[in-house]
Amino acid sequence: MEKRITTPLSDEVVESLRVGDKVLITGYIYTARDAAHKRMVESLKRGESLPIDVKGQVIYYVGPTPPKEGQVIGSAGPTTAIRMDSYVEPLLKLGLKGMIGKGYRSAKVRELLKKYKAVYFAAVGGVATLLQRHIKSSELVAYEDLGTEAIRRLHVEDFPVIVANDIYGNDLFEEGRKKYAKIEV
């Protein structure tokens, strides 16, 4: 089933999403990879506030390349999500509702998604040019010194993702492995 959603996300929207749903996201999303996540969590541990309000927001695990002339953004394909797993809970506690990356998440993160009512979307790796077309603007908002790993605010239109983990404990990757294991060769 294909669904269109707009950021910021509410609990009701997150509750309506199920593993395998094809989703088109419109609105603003934020970029952050390993270095930005580490810095955000360290700031929270020191009692500092974050440079962005994550409540209801979606973070895209991407470090876009610099844009070429005439482009809004350079190559913007997803990075491996499991690398951010150790940083997820503090952001979910603050109301983060979605994450976009590639690959599976740990069992701990899947449990946290249920606890905090958030969803993990998978974007297809290797199609950075296709994804780039859905990004209409890009604004640097924090950690400029991190270069491509700085936090950016992206305006996206019909950004294509698939629900990989929902708040009901379902896992697209696990279901796929089970289906594949049933195939007789």
Rounded CA-CA distance 164/105 in Å is 9
Determine whether 134 is an active site residue: no
The answer to whether residues 9 and 58 touch, using CB atoms and an 8 Å cutoff, is yes
Whether residue 51 contacts residue 91, with contact meaning beta carbons closer than 8 Å, is answered with no
Residues 6+ apart with CB under 8 A from 5: 13, 17, 23, 24, 25, 26
User: Which of 20-56 are b and which e, b meaning 16 or more Cβ less than 10 Å from the residue's Cβ?
Assistant: ebebbbbbbbbbbbbbbbbbbbeebeeeeebebebeb
Of the residues 23, 31, 37, 149, only one is catalytic, namely: 37
Catalytic residues: 37
